[in-house]
Amino acid sequence: MKRLFYALNDPTRRAILDLLRVRSITAGEIAAAFAATTPTISHHLRVLADADLVVAEKQGRYLHYHLQTTVLEEAIQWLLALRRAEAADGPPPS
Q: Would you call 41 helix, strand, or coil by DSSP?
A: helix
Q: Residue 50: what residue type?
A: D
* 75 and 34 Cβ atoms separated by less than 8 Å: no
Please report whether residue 12 would count as binding its own copies according to CB under 8 A.
no
Q: Using CB under 7 A as the criterion, what x/- string covers residues 2-41 for binding DNA?
A: ----x--xx-x-------------xxxx-x---xxxxxxx
What is the C-alpha to C-alpha distance for residues 45 and 53, in angstroms, rounded to an integer? Answer: 9
Indicate which of its own copies, DNA, none lies near residue 63 (CB less than 5 to 8 Å, by partner kind): DNA
CA distance 59 to 24: 12
By CB under 8 A, residue 57 contacts its own copies: no
- Binding stretches for its own copies (CB under 8 A): 1-2, 5-6, 8-9, 11, 14, 17, 20-24, 66-69, 72-73, 75-76, 78-83, 85-86, 89-90
